[in-house]
Structure 1
Amino acid sequence: MMKDEIKINSEEGEVFDKKQIALAIRNSTFNDDLKCSLLEEGILDKCQGCSLKCICDSIDQVAQNYIDKTTDVINNFNFE
Protein backbone atom coordinates (compact mmCIF):
# COMPACT_ATOMS: atom_id res chain seq x y z
CA MET A 1 0.00 0.00 0.00
CA MET A 2 1.41 3.40 -1.01
CA LYS A 3 1.14 6.30 1.39
CA ASP A 4 0.98 9.83 0.06
CA GLU A 5 2.50 11.49 3.11
CA ILE A 6 5.57 13.69 3.26
CA LYS A 7 6.41 12.64 6.84
CA ILE A 8 7.18 9.15 8.03
CA ASN A 9 7.64 7.81 11.54
CA SER A 10 10.99 6.35 12.51
CA GLU A 11 12.69 5.37 15.73
CA GLU A 12 14.12 8.90 15.94
CA GLY A 13 10.68 10.48 15.53
CA GLU A 14 9.02 12.02 12.49
CA VAL A 15 11.24 12.55 9.46
CA PHE A 16 10.61 13.88 5.98
CA ASP A 17 10.41 11.31 3.20
CA LYS A 18 12.83 12.29 0.41
CA LYS A 19 10.96 10.04 -2.02
CA GLN A 20 7.72 11.96 -1.53
CA ILE A 21 9.51 15.30 -1.90
CA ALA A 22 11.26 14.08 -5.06
CA LEU A 23 7.98 12.71 -6.48
CA ALA A 24 6.21 16.02 -5.80
CA ILE A 25 8.92 17.92 -7.69
CA ARG A 26 8.96 15.36 -10.51
CA ASN A 27 5.17 15.34 -10.80
CA SER A 28 5.16 19.13 -11.06
CA THR A 29 7.03 18.76 -14.36
CA PHE A 30 4.16 16.83 -15.97
CA ASN A 31 1.72 19.56 -17.04
CA ASP A 32 1.63 20.98 -13.51
CA ASP A 33 3.29 23.98 -11.92
CA LEU A 34 5.12 24.78 -8.75
CA LYS A 35 3.54 27.71 -6.92
CA CYS A 36 3.91 29.36 -3.55
CA SER A 37 0.88 29.31 -1.27
CA LEU A 38 2.18 32.43 0.48
CA LEU A 39 1.80 34.34 -2.79
CA GLU A 40 -1.39 32.55 -3.88
CA GLU A 41 -3.15 33.29 -0.58
CA GLY A 42 -1.98 36.90 -0.54
CA ILE A 43 0.14 36.50 2.58
CA LEU A 44 3.10 37.87 0.61
CA ASP A 45 2.92 40.06 -2.48
CA LYS A 46 6.45 39.26 -3.72
CA CYS A 47 9.28 36.80 -3.07
CA GLN A 48 11.91 39.40 -2.23
CA GLY A 49 12.54 39.41 1.49
CA CYS A 50 11.02 35.97 2.04
CA SER A 51 13.31 33.69 4.04
CA LEU A 52 12.24 30.73 1.86
CA LYS A 53 13.23 32.37 -1.46
CA CYS A 54 16.59 30.60 -1.74
CA ILE A 55 14.92 27.23 -1.15
CA CYS A 56 12.14 27.97 -3.65
CA ASP A 57 14.69 29.04 -6.25
CA SER A 58 16.61 25.82 -5.66
CA ILE A 59 13.44 23.74 -6.04
CA ASP A 60 12.73 25.47 -9.36
CA GLN A 61 16.28 24.62 -10.47
CA VAL A 62 15.91 20.98 -9.38
CA ALA A 63 12.71 20.71 -11.44
CA GLN A 64 14.45 22.25 -14.46
CA ASN A 65 17.44 19.91 -14.04
CA TYR A 66 15.06 16.94 -13.96
CA ILE A 67 13.41 18.10 -17.19
CA ASP A 68 16.79 18.64 -18.84
CA LYS A 69 18.12 15.22 -17.83
CA THR A 70 15.00 13.24 -18.72
CA THR A 71 14.00 14.93 -21.97
CA ASP A 72 15.65 13.69 -25.14
CA VAL A 73 15.18 15.34 -28.50
CA ILE A 74 14.45 12.46 -30.86
CA ASN A 75 14.17 14.44 -34.07
CA ASN A 76 14.15 18.02 -35.28
CA PHE A 77 11.84 19.24 -37.99
CA ASN A 78 12.33 22.21 -40.26
CA PHE A 79 9.28 23.48 -42.14
CA GLU A 80 10.84 25.96 -44.56
Structure 2
Amino acid sequence: MIKNEIKIKSEEGEVFDKKQIALAIRNSTFDDDLRCSLLDDGILDKCQGCNLRYICDGIDQVVDSYVDKTTEVVNNFDFE
Protein backbone atom coordinates (compact mmCIF):
# COMPACT_ATOMS: atom_id res chain seq x y z
CA MET A 1 0.00 0.00 0.00
CA ILE A 2 1.48 3.33 -1.06
CA LYS A 3 0.53 6.46 0.84
CA ASN A 4 1.09 9.85 -0.69
CA GLU A 5 0.31 11.98 2.34
CA ILE A 6 2.64 14.28 4.22
CA LYS A 7 0.82 13.63 7.51
CA ILE A 8 0.35 10.16 8.91
CA LYS A 9 -1.59 9.00 11.94
CA SER A 10 0.20 7.13 14.68
CA GLU A 11 -0.71 6.03 18.17
CA GLU A 12 0.71 9.31 19.46
CA GLY A 13 -1.39 11.39 17.05
CA GLU A 14 -0.66 12.90 13.66
CA VAL A 15 2.97 13.21 12.62
CA PHE A 16 4.75 14.48 9.52
CA ASP A 17 6.30 11.83 7.29
CA LYS A 18 9.95 12.71 6.65
CA LYS A 19 9.98 10.41 3.62
CA GLN A 20 7.22 12.41 1.91
CA ILE A 21 8.97 15.70 2.73
CA ALA A 22 12.26 14.33 1.39
CA LEU A 23 10.57 13.04 -1.77
CA ALA A 24 8.91 16.40 -2.38
CA ILE A 25 12.28 18.14 -2.07
CA ARG A 26 14.00 15.56 -4.28
CA ASN A 27 11.24 15.66 -6.91
CA SER A 28 11.56 19.44 -7.11
CA THR A 29 15.04 18.89 -8.57
CA PHE A 30 13.64 17.02 -11.57
CA ASP A 31 10.62 18.34 -13.45
CA ASP A 32 8.91 20.00 -10.51
CA ASP A 33 9.56 23.27 -8.75
CA LEU A 34 9.47 24.70 -5.23
CA ARG A 35 7.39 27.84 -4.81
CA CYS A 36 5.87 29.84 -2.00
CA SER A 37 2.08 30.02 -1.95
CA LEU A 38 2.28 33.11 0.27
CA LEU A 39 3.96 34.94 -2.62
CA ASP A 40 1.85 33.27 -5.33
CA ASP A 41 -1.42 34.14 -3.58
CA GLY A 42 -0.35 37.73 -2.97
CA ILE A 43 -0.37 37.37 0.81
CA LEU A 44 3.26 38.53 0.83
CA ASP A 45 5.01 40.59 -1.82
CA LYS A 46 8.54 39.66 -0.69
CA CYS A 47 10.26 37.21 1.64
CA GLN A 48 11.81 39.84 3.90
CA GLY A 49 10.07 39.83 7.26
CA CYS A 50 8.42 36.42 6.77
CA ASN A 51 8.97 34.20 9.80
CA LEU A 52 9.26 31.16 7.50
CA ARG A 53 12.15 32.61 5.54
CA TYR A 54 14.80 30.79 7.59
CA ILE A 55 13.12 27.45 6.84
CA CYS A 56 12.65 28.28 3.15
CA ASP A 57 16.30 29.29 2.84
CA GLY A 58 17.25 26.00 4.51
CA ILE A 59 15.12 24.04 2.04
CA ASP A 60 16.85 25.84 -0.83
CA GLN A 61 20.23 24.85 0.66
CA VAL A 62 19.09 21.23 0.99
CA VAL A 63 18.02 21.22 -2.67
CA ASP A 64 21.36 22.67 -3.78
CA SER A 65 23.27 20.19 -1.63
CA TYR A 66 21.22 17.27 -2.96
CA VAL A 67 21.90 18.29 -6.56
CA ASP A 68 25.63 18.69 -5.82
CA LYS A 69 25.85 15.29 -4.12
CA THR A 70 23.85 13.36 -6.71
CA THR A 71 25.04 14.97 -9.92
CA GLU A 72 28.16 13.44 -11.39
CA VAL A 73 30.01 14.64 -14.46
CA VAL A 74 30.88 11.53 -16.42
CA ASN A 75 32.75 13.16 -19.27
CA ASN A 76 33.78 16.56 -20.55
CA PHE A 77 33.77 17.45 -24.22
CA ASP A 78 35.74 20.17 -25.94
CA PHE A 79 34.28 21.40 -29.22
CA GLU A 80 36.94 23.53 -30.88
The TM-score bracket by the shorter chain reads: over 0.9
1:57 corresponds to:
57
**Any stretches of 5+ residues in structure 2 without a counterpart?**
none
2:31 corresponds to:
31
Give the 3-state SS of the residue equivalent to 1:14 in structure 2: strand
Instruction: Write out the 4+ residue segments of structure 1 that deviate beyond 6 Å after TM superposition.
Output: none
Structure 1 residue 52: Cα displacement: 0.1
Structure 1 residue 33: Cα displacement: 1.3
1:14 corresponds to:
14
CA distance in 2, matches of 1:40, 1:77: 40
Give the 3-state SS of the residue equivalent to 1:8 in structure 2: strand
Q: TM-score, normalized by length of structure 1?
A: 0.96
**Any stretches of 5+ residues in structure 1 without a counterpart?**
none
CA distance in 1, matches of 2:58, 2:19: 17
% same residue: 77
Q: TM-score, normalized by length of structure 2?
A: 0.96
Structure 1 residue 31: Cα displacement: 2.2
Structure 1 counterpart of 2:79, one-letter code: F
